[in-house]
């Protein structure tokens, strides 16, 4: 039995809920963005117009935060299943966490062009 | 525990039922997407940096390698999405029995393959 001190929600039920809520957000975002790219004539003007809308920036940031939480729960499950030794497991989990943090900050910088 | 019990951990001898295979693919595709986000954010950053950047992304996407990477990420994303929807349906109590679960796994595989082929056609 692996210590659950590293899981996101402190309890399996809360992790399950986080995974579901973020899954719905990510599914909607994916379907919307793929739909936009497949069914409309994408060029520089329409592309920047979409990403200059406040609601879409918020939607994109929400999706990025959801990726962070969703990937943490998912990768936590995978790493606790396959990496039994504590030190390498913590190291891999820390790398995943750092990557998620970078993704979110990078995304904010892209969206609001700081 | 009784240490004399026979142990067979030769993975090559295990028979994996289809739902086990769709489950491990869900995990693998999730890891691919997690890594792929870096490529997608790089492309988004460049495409929104100005008209030159947007043109550069279009130019990059003309290369075979970039198309292959995008198709790979899209394939993982589409599979993860389809298998994820199966999970959400199972939360609602749908396809939780042995037979319906197997059928749902088969549908997941078929729908994913169709979507992945369509994505390949779209990318090229």
pLDDT at A114: 62
pLDDT at A8: 81
List all residues 6 or more positions away from B56 whose beta carbon is below 8 Å from its beta carbon: B46
What are the C-alpha distances in Å from A97 to residues A11, A64, B92? Answer: 19, 13, 31
- Chain A residues within 8 A of B81 when measuring between CB atoms: 27, 30
Distance of CA B96 to the CA centre of its chain: 22
pLDDT at B43: 96
Complex ipTM value: 0.91
- Chain A residues within 8 A of B48 when measuring between CB atoms: 47-48, 51, 110, 113
Q: Is A70 annotated as a binding residue?
A: yes
pLDDT at A9: 77
What does pLDDT average to over chain B?
92
Q: Measure the CA–CA gap between A46 and A4, rounded to whole angstroms.
A: 46
Residue pointed to by tokens 């039994």: A84
Tell me how crowded residue A49 is: count the other CB atoms within 10 A of its CB.
11
Tokens of A11: 């309890």
pLDDT at B4: 73
pLDDT at residue B8 tops 70: no
What residue ranges do the domains of chain A occupy?
A: 4-112
What residue ranges do the domains of chain B occupy?
A: 18-33+64-123
If pLDDT is split at 50, 70 and 90, which confidence band does B68 have? very high
- Chain A residues within 8 A of B45 when measuring between CB atoms: 106, 110
pLDDT at residue B1 tops 70: no
- Chain B residues within 8 A of A99 when measuring between CB atoms: 34, 38
Contact B48 A27 (CB under 8 A): no
Measured distance between the N- and C-terminal CA atoms of chain B, rounded to whole angstroms: 57
Which residues of chain A have a pLDDT value below 50? 1
pLDDT at A3: 54
Contact B31 A51 (CB under 8 A): no
* Cα radius of gyration (chain A): 17
Mean pLDDT of B90-113: 94
If pLDDT is split at 50, 70 and 90, which confidence band does B2 have? low
Distance of CA B74 to the CA centre of its chain: 8
List all residues 6 or more positions away from B41 whose beta carbon is below 8 Å from its beta carbon: A103, A106, A107, A110
Q: Measure the CA–CA gap between A53 and B111, rounded to whole angstroms.
A: 33
Contact B30 A75 (CB under 8 A): yes
Distance of CA B78 to the CA centre of its chain: 6
Q: Tell me which CATH code domain A4-112 carries.
A: 1.20.1300.10
Mean pLDDT of B109-124: 96
Size of interface A-B (CB pairs under 8 A): 48
Q: Which fold has domain B18-33+64-123?
A: 3 helical TM bundles of succinate and fumarate reductases (1.20.1300)
Mean pLDDT of B38-42: 97
- Chain B residues within 8 A of A107 when measuring between CB atoms: 41
What's the pLDDT tens digit per position in B13-24?
A: 778 899 999 999
Tokens of A66: 């959801």
Half-sphere exposure of B66 (CA within 13 A, CB side): 12
B122 touches chain A (CB under 8 A): yes
Annotated binding residues of B? 80
Between the CA atoms of B15, B79, A7 and A109, what dihedral angle is there, to the nearest 10 degrees?
A: 150
Share of chain B above pLDDT 70, in %: 94
Of A27, A48, A106, the CB nearest to B81: A27
Of B34, B41, B77, the CB nearest to A30: B77
Contact A110 B44 (CB under 8 A): yes
């Amino acid at each position: 039995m692996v210590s659950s001190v590293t899981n996101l929600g402190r309890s399996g039920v809360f992790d399950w809920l986080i995974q579901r809520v973020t899954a719905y957000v990510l599914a909607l975002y994916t379907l919307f963005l793929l739909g936009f790219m497949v069914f409309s004539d994408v060029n520089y003007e329409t592309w920047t117009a979409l990403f200059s809308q406040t609601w879409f920036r918020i939607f994109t940031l929400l999706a990025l935060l959801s990726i962070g939480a969703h990937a943490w729960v998912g990768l936590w499950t995978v790493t606790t299943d396959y990496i039994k030794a504590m030190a390498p497991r913590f190291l891999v989990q820390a790398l995943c966490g750092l990557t998620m943090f970078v993704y979110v900050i990078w995304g904010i910088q892209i969206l609001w062009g700081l | 525990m009784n240490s004399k019990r026979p142990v067979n951990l030769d993975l090559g001898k295990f028979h994996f039922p289809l739902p086990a295979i769709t489950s491990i693919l869900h995990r693998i595709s999730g890891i691919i997407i997690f890594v792929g986000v870096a490529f997608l954010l790089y492309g988004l950053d460049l495409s929104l940096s100005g008209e030159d950047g947007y043109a550069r992304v279009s130019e990059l996407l003309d290369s075979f390698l970039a198309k292959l990477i995008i198709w790979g990420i899209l394939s993982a994303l589409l599979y993860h999405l389809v298998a994820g929807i199966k999970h959400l349906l199972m939360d609602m109590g749908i396809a939780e029995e042995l037979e319906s679960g197997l059928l749902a796994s088969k549908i997941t595989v078929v729908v994913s393959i169709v979507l992945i082929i369509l994505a390949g056609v779209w990318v090229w």
